[in-house]
Chain A
Amino acid sequence: MSLSADDVRKMARLSRLLISDADAAATLNALNNTLALVERMAAVDTRGVEPMAHAQDVALRLRPDAVTEADAREALMANAPAAERGLFLVPKVIE
């Protein structure tokens, strides 16, 4: 499975990345090389094999419903690029 330049553009859009025209060819090449490496998996017979999503077969631990975090707004927002009156500011969101 080989990617086209269009595929790369689509993936870039989905992941909010800008690939400049200058980098497009190199990126496409690198990605196709990676997928060629990945293609080796095709040789493995995986019929009936249960996918392994977690390293250990454990069950999700449940925490009791209780408030354990206090207000820490100032500290947690200290790295905000733009904030005002306790809100993070972003370019206007149009719906």
Chain B
Amino acid sequence: MRGTVASLAAELAAGSVSAVELATEALALAQASPLNVFITLDPERTLAEARAADVLRAAGQAGPLAGIPFAQKDIFCAEGWRTTAGSKMLGNFVAPYDATVVVRGKAAGLVTIGRANMDEFAMGSTNENSAFGPVHNPWDITRVPGGSSGGSAAAVAAGIVPAATGTDTGGSIRQPAGFCGITGIKPTYGVVSRYGMIAYASSLDQGGPMARTAQDCAMLLNAMAGFDARDATSLPRDAEDYTRDLDRPLDGLRVGVPRGWLADGVSADVRAAVEAGIVQLETLGAKRVEVDLPHAQYAIAAYYVIAPAEASSNLSRYDGVRYGHRAADYADLAEMYARSRSEGFGAEVQRRILVGTYVLSAGYYDAYYLKAQQVRRRIADDFAAAFAQCDIIAGPIAPTVAYKLGEKTADPVQMYLGDVYTTLVNLAGLPALSLPCGFGEGGMPVGLQLIGGAFSEARLLNVAHRFQQATDHHLQTPGGAA
């Protein structure tokens, strides 16, 4: 499908295309795609949504996003849709209610093309942990798309849909966006409601948009963001128009580059592309500043304590009692629990539950969980100090471009190490986005990460937008330029 959210929105507004036409085209692309992007398609439901959007437009009540087709990460509960979170545990779970993000999307008239594949319960960096098979990177189908929002990223990169929702707990929007050559933003913690977003790590999870351009992401973020009374961690702030500053000039923008981030920790091709991206920002008027994030190197250690700990508790509700997978054979309650959970959860989820249980258990809480929360505070303090010297921080998303399917599945920790540039942002609760800045080994996309202070989404999107006006990496597609 050609076009961005912005261009398609203009076409819809002009009446040159209808929501039903777009949805039909997207469904055909989805059904023909070999990438395994969707876990669930429900054409009837999709077309009903599309028809509703067209009705809204005919009545003159359509907002800017009405009729735009998108992929919904299979982590947002949507009434009447099978909602699996990429897991066999919820393989037959049809959500009886809408997540707030879903309610807002419906109100905006967005049309759900399908439920995007993902790493199970958002735990993973390659979408190889899905109970419904891995997703393939559209740029090279032998490679991973990134995770956990792999399906969402691939759907946009492959041109099946112009937009997708994702969630980011340790990098799960930014990294797949980087691996697939698209743009994605993780907002400040508390900006997008978590009600109805199946929980992985409650203090880190945030939902956000993924699309071809920063402008698209800004439009989508307008629909997704906002205070929600059903989420006690949702922040009561006035509504923001994230598109308001897109065209602001970048003169005088101070771009912080963390010391050591462009050294041996990244492959040469990533280093070159990210460096070029920063130079590009300088060309646009920005000033490079070296900053120090001394505790960044400890972020994955803290993350792999906090996230599994919270997950181990969040996933206790999957016990086969009220919904979800229940084992067929069991002698008693204890066996029902154990069999249902062991059959329903994949290996990585079980490993993280075990780690989480351990770090919270008696005698280990102080050494692990409490310690990790203290390290977290130091990381947050590092950012605060850095933002006294710069306006945004720029750096890589991941140490390499997307690697081959199966390359890092033997040792989970090898995969965890790839999260070194993303997890620290979640720990601090700050906003960050990923935009394409070039290509690397094998012609694979390279992502540039921009991190901002709390509630600086509009600024981040502005910087990315200006970058995209001056470059064309984001316009490249696996099949050629868009």
Contacts and interface: CB of A to CB of B under 8 A. Distances in A.
Question: Are A and B direct contacts in the complex by CB distance below 8 Å?
Answer: yes
A58 interface: yes
Interface in B308-362: 312, 316, 319-326, 330-334, 336-339, 341-342, 345, 347, 350-351, 353-355, 357-359, 361
Interface string A66-77: 000000100111
Nearest to A45: B378
B190 interface: yes
A18 B304 CA distance: 22
Given A37-B416, A52-B376, A52-B377, A46 B301 contact: no
A5 B330 CA distance: 25
A51 B94 CA distance: 38
A44 B322 contact: no
A49 B366 CA distance: 13
B336 A90 contact: yes
Contacts of A93: 333
B322 A37 contact: no
Interface stretch (B131-139, B143-151, B167-175, B230-238): B230-238
Interface string A28-66: 001101111111111110100111111110101101000
A41 B377 contact: no
A15 B345 CA distance: 12
A86 interface: no
A52 B380 contact: yes
A55 B190 contact: yes
Interface stretch (B45-53, B241-249, B292-300, B385-393): B292-300
B377 A31 contact: no
A36 B372 CA distance: 14
Contacts of B239: none
Contacts of B412: 30, 33-34
Interface residues of B, number: 76
A30 to B, nearest CB: 5
A51 B338 contact: no
B461 to A, nearest CB: 20
Given A41-B305, A91-B330, A33 B298 contact: no
A38 B368 contact: yes
Contacts of A63: 229
B375 interface: yes
B306 to A, nearest CB: 10
Interface centre among A14, A15, A42, A54 (most CB of B within 10 A): A15
A30 B358 CA distance: 14
A77 B190 contact: no
A88 B354 contact: no
B198 to A, nearest CB: 14
27 contacts: A1-B367, A14-B361, A15-B341, A16-B316, A17-B338, A17-B354, A27-B350, A33-B413, A38-B304, A40-B300, A41-B375, A44-B298, A44-B371, A46-B371, A46-B378, A49-B378, A56-B190, A75-B97, A79-B92, A79-B93, A79-B96, A80-B322, A80-B323, A90-B333, A90-B336, A91-B330, A91-B331
Interface of B: 92-94, 96-97, 188-190, 203, 229, 232-233, 235-236, 295, 297-298, 300-302, 304-305, 312, 316, 319-326, 330-334, 336-339, 341-342, 345, 347, 350-351, 353-355, 357-359, 361, 364, 367-368, 370-378, 380, 411-413, 416-417, 427-429, 454
Given A16-B319, A43-B298, 4 more contacts: A16-B337, A18-B342, A40-B297, A55-B429
